Amino acid sequence: MSTPEQEIEYRQHRFSPPPGATEIFLVRHGESAPAKASTPFDMVDGQADPDLAPEGREHAERVGGRLADERISALYVTTLRRTSQTAAPLAAKLGLKPELEAGLREIHLGDWEGGLFRRYTHEGHPIVEKLWREQRWDVIPGAETMEDFGGRIKAAIGRLAAANPDRRVAVFTHGGVIGEVFAQASGAKSRFAFLGADNGSISHLVVSGDEWMVRRFNDTSHLQSPFG
């Protein structure tokens, strides 16, 4: 007696990276120390280099716990110590030594480095209003141009992808950098569309050749209590 053939089922497609692609987890460093006129930040190559705040060290621990089982093959940090401090717990868990990618350091704020950007933002400086209106960092006197900033970010992501085909890497970087990466990846009309990633957040980018694919932005599920 014949039996009916089993009907073929067609499930919804589930994303998987293309062959040779690189998955990049972009982690914004933990919260850094507050700016104070009495204790200016240390400087590295003309950029402010604050230490992590106590809250930032807790962010770092939580990031380490979140990414420890995500098959990370390499870690990258910038020239600014808040990134290497944030990477330290994950590096210890994985037994990996972070590599330097200077191209993913924060936007250079020119005359407003050393904590002045925070102060002027708090005070409502008219140039801050212009910055948000025009969506350009380089309205700040002496700041890095948008073209230079965007170019070095694109080049740095390209280097990471070329060095890590078919791998997952974690990059500990900065809010301005993450915003620029995802503005470029999404083709957003506003260069500031993705500005504001939270300290300790994880964003996920897949790079395949010239194609940048957004998988997630500003994931903070590991930070929710008491940092939500």
With CA atoms as reference, report the closest residue to 88 among 43, 42, 52. 52
Secondary-structure class of domain 22-107+145-227 per CATH: alpha beta
Pair type for strands 211-219 and 202-208: antiparallel
- For the chain, the domains span 22-107+145-227
pLDDT at 107: 98
Per-residue pLDDT of the chain (228 residues; tens, 9 = 90+): 556 688 999 999 899 999 999 999 999 999 999 988 888 899 999 999 999 999 999 999 999 999 999 999 999 999 999 999 999 999 999 999 999 999 999 999 999 999 999 999 999 999 999 999 999 999 999 999 999 999 999 999 999 999 999 999 999 999 999 999 999 999 999 999 999 999 999 999 999 999 999 999 999 999 986 544
Q: What is the rounded distance in angstroms from the CA atom of residue 62 to the CA atom of residue 159?
A: 28
Question: How many other CB atoms are found less than 10 A from the CB of residue 68?
Answer: 13
**Of 216, 204, 179, the residue nearest 72 (C-alpha):** 204
Phi-psi region of 207 (alpha: psi -120 to 50; beta: other; left: phi over 0): beta
Alpha carbon distance 219, 202 (integer Å): 5
Q: Which residue has the tokens 């716990």?
A: 65
